[in-house]
Amino acid sequence: VARRSTIRDVAARAGVHPATASRALNPALAGRITEETSARVREAAQALGYTVDPTARSLRTRRSGFVGVVIPDLANPVLPPIVRGIEETLAAHGLAVLLADTDNSPEREATLVAQLEARRCEGLIVATATRDSPTVRRLAGGDLPTVLVTRDADGAGLPLVAGDDDAGVRAMAGHLLGLGHDRIAYLTGPPELSTTQTRLAAVHAALDGARGRGGLVVRHGEAFTAPVGRRLAAELLRDRRDVTAILAGNDMMAVGVYEALADAGLRCPQDVSVAGHNDMPLVDRIAPPLTTVAIPQREIGVHAARLLLERLGDDAPPPERRLLPTRLVVRGSTAVPNVHASAGNVHGAIPAGGPH
Amino acid sequence: VARRSTIRDVAARAGVHPATASRALNPALAGRITEETSARVREAAQALGYTVDPTARSLRTRRSGFVGVVIPDLANPVLPPIVRGIEETLAAHGLAVLLADTDNSPEREATLVAQLEARRCEGLIVATATRDSPTVRRLAGGDLPTVLVTRDADGAGLPLVAGDDDAGVRAMAGHLLGLGHDRIAYLTGPPELSTTQTRLAAVHAALDGARGRGGLVVRHGEAFTAPVGRRLAAELLRDRRDVTAILAGNDMMAVGVYEALADAGLRCPQDVSVAGHNDMPLVDRIAPPLTTVAIPQREIGVHAARLLLERLGDDAPPPERRLLPTRLVVRGSTAVPNVHASAGNVHGAIPAGGPH
DNA sequence: TTGAAAGCGCTAACAA
DNA sequence: TTGTTAGCGCTTTCAA
């Protein structure tokens, strides 16, 4: 096994001092070195197959070249495209991604963030935030550049990139009102998540004033999953058989709502309209195809990475909240209330709003 | 911003030499140090909030604590659970995951693997292998411990963890034969992937001898995607209207087949049965629910990580090919040929085979 | 523009 | 069991 060649080997071969070789190989120092010397060094490096040892460089420069990405659960279909967007963007800037999956546990979040700090990450992109996460609060106070994605933390003042849920949910509410619904239920997740709060606030803003007051029922569940959606919908249908539309906090919950409707012998959309949020893969193929709000996942990742890159620079701009445009996607799960739909379902996509 | 404390600070506070402090903090050296000294050092470390600098340690020990995970496309729903399994298992052993997404490009594969090597990863888990990947061939010859997942490389002799596709496909073929199908088509991906080869070989083994010879038609496409599945199925139906069952290389292709059938005015499963492979999320909710082969994704990740951990040790065992049991999942997309199905669809899961 | 010297923080080898 | 010494490979002063 041949020993890996070092900067000394390169220097020796080029007949210069290691420091000179180092400088010749550093693009930032171009111009401060003779082109001839530089060429000789590059040639030597090439011949020896030299690549810099990032560990040694890190030790010296105090820059690790790593960014930590903290996610709640990679199996959540919203996240992979976001992670991809982050990874691509950072890789283009020579930064590598250290992936940490907390499995939705605050304790694991604390541990993993501590480990990422110990590994001297240059920055963090955090998708795990609960509104009151102590770990995130600590990060907000510290000097490790941090950007939140998808989920916000109260009062932390950290930069955030997310879909414009407010506009998306308002567009969805408008769509339902336009169809003539006035007994609408909103099934959502735990209040600890900003996602829950933001979407719920938008629902209230859009529906509280509309038509006969009291037309909106809200139910919280402990997670954004199909089983929880099913349970909430079942309970709802027991109490309030008169609802004409059920808005789910996300697509998985909507799938659970489908089950509860089937259990109750109700048809979607003829008896009850259902809508989701996220537009995850295959929801356009389920029965009925789900009306939902699409969020620009990869773009969210790209923008989060860009925001972090900005903050890694010398003059970090003030924390920015960047909300990317969502899109209302109308499919077959929503229809005019109490009317037997017969013709083909409406398909289409309507912009729901831009950054604000 | 307070300077981070170093081992020297800890040593000074504990009144010992830095080397002693280092030893006291190293669990592997327990017993070779006075318990009293050790306690004093730990106390000092605690008081100062000391955490070792992994960069400096790496430089000295020549171990980075990183494992590179190279995947073709994180947006492919099969992969996230595998990555999770890997990440969890390695994290439990103090190893961090460096994620690299090649976007299915051999060039990016080469570049990213080179970068992971440059970063001194201790090992690699590679899911991008094409059967003849030069990059993977080079890794097989080198001394960087490498484990392949899901996709094998010809003659590289590298350890591999994957689902037992052979058993899974044979079980599926048996299921179709059992229903009475004899005009069966297999739509699959590019021959460069071992996935294609393995599954195709199993299809041949199970179907070539069965019933009237010539009953099997095979078509290759350039990718395992819905549009490709749709195109292949459309072409197939143009040439061979008599097929009674279409076996798709994976679930996404199967979804494309659904579209082609609808385009051709054919019903599934009444006119043509369709089956997939992978059992990705929501294929149980599409219309009709897809019969498919489930693969133990997270388990594959866990075993890949374990195999790598073994090889990181001093006495690496010989390369092992570990195939994990798959499961035939029968849903509503397969039925007896040429019979109008009316009753509820069959649901169930049958073990398809174990490791061999 | 280049060379010399030093040191990032840690731990392995050797000595006591 | 502990201390001493040295050096991992690199880059950045400082001096020429």
- Each residue's pLDDT tens digit, A284-319: 999 999 999 999 999 999 999 999 999 998 778 899
Neighboring chain A residues of B99 at a CB cutoff of 8 Å? 83, 87, 97-99
Which residues have CB under 8 Å from A24's CB, separation 6+?
A: A14, A16, A33, A37, A38, A41, A42
Q: What is the pLDDT of residue B348?
A: 38
Global model pTM greater than 0.75: yes
CB atoms within 10 A of CB B183: 19
pLDDT of residue A343 exceeding 70, the answer is no
Question: What's the pLDDT score for residue A271?
Answer: 96
* Distance, CA of B59 to C1' of D8, in Å: 5
> Looking at this protein, which amino acid is placed at residue B280?
M
pLDDT means over runs of 10, chain B (356 residues): 84 94 90 90 95 93 94 95 96 92 94 89 94 94 94 94 97 95 95 96 88 76 96 96 94 97 96 97 95 98 97 87 98 84 35 42
**Residue A1 pLDDT exceeds 60:** no
Judged by a CB distance cut-off of 8 A, whether residue A80 touches chain B is yes
If you measure CA to C1', which residue is closest to nucleotide D3? Answer: B17
Residue range A49-65: average pLDDT?
Answer: 93
Q: Which nucleotides of C are covered by protein (CB under 7 A)?
A: 1-13
All residues of chain B having their beta carbon less than 8 Å from the beta carbon of residue A74 are: 80-81, 83-84, 87
How confident is the model over B125-173, as pLDDT tens digits? 999 989 999 999 999 998 899 999 999 999 889 999 999 999 999 999 9
Judge whether residue A245 has pLDDT over 80: yes
d(CA A52, CA A166): 48
Rounded Cα gap, residues B292 and A60, in angstroms? 54
State percent of chain A over pLDDT 90: 81
**pLDDT of A9 higher than 70:** yes
Distance CA B239, CA B242 (A): 9
- Does any strand C atom come closer than 7 Å to the Cβ of B190? no
Residues A149-182 pLDDT 10s: 999 999 889 999 999 999 999 999 999 999 999 8
Nucleotide D1's nearest residue (CA vs C1') is B33
Distance C15 C1' – B38 CA (angstroms): 22
- pLDDT given at position A349: 40
- pLDDT score for B349: 40
| Chain B residues near residue A101 by CB distance under 8 angstroms | 84, 87-88
Helix (H), strand (E) at residue A106: helix A106-118
CA distances from B166 to B195, B254, B293, B325, B326 (A): 10, 19, 11, 10, 9
CB atoms within 10 A of CB B12: 16
Q: What is the pLDDT of residues A207-238, one digit of tens each?
A: 987 665 557 899 999 999 999 999 999 999 99
Interface membership of A118 toward B (CB under 8 Å): yes
B51 near A CB under 8 A: yes
Pick from B64, B79, B97: CB nearest A99: B97
In chain B, which residues have their Cβ closer than 8 Å to the Cβ of A61? none
Chain B: residue whose CA lies nearest to A54: B119
**Partners of B275 in the β-ladder:** B247, B291
Cα of first residue to Cα of last residue in chain B, in angstroms, is 58
Which strands form B184-188's sheet, in the order they lie side by side? Answer: B216-220, B184-188, B245-248, B273-275
Cα–Cα distances in angstroms (integers) from residue B149 to residues A202, B71, B85, B324, in the given order: 44, 9, 12, 11
Question: CB–CB of B118 and A143 under 8 A?
Answer: no
Residue pair A16/A27 in contact by the 8 Å Cβ criterion: no
Name every chain A residue with its beta carbon within 8 A of the beta carbon of B280.
Answer: 282
Alpha helix stretches (DSSP H) within B181-225: 194-207
- What is the distance between the alpha carbons of residues A274 and A187, in angstroms, rounded to a whole number? 11
- Decide if B255 and A283 are in contact by the 8 Å CB cutoff: no
Q: How far is CA A46 from CA A10, A53, B149, B300, in A?
A: 9, 15, 33, 39
Q: Where are the strands (E) in chain A, listed by range?
A: 66-71, 96-101, 123-126, 146-149, 160-163, 184-188, 216-220, 245-248, 273-275, 292-294, 321-324, 327-330, 348-351
Peptide bond into B325 cis (omega under 30): no
Q: Does A92 touch chain B (CB under 8 A)?
A: no
Which among A90, A86, A112 is positioned nearest to A101, based on CA atoms?
A112
Q: pLDDT at position B171, please? A: 97
The yes-or-no verdict on residue A347 having pLDDT over 70 is no
Q: According to the model, what pLDDT value does residue A81 have? A: 97
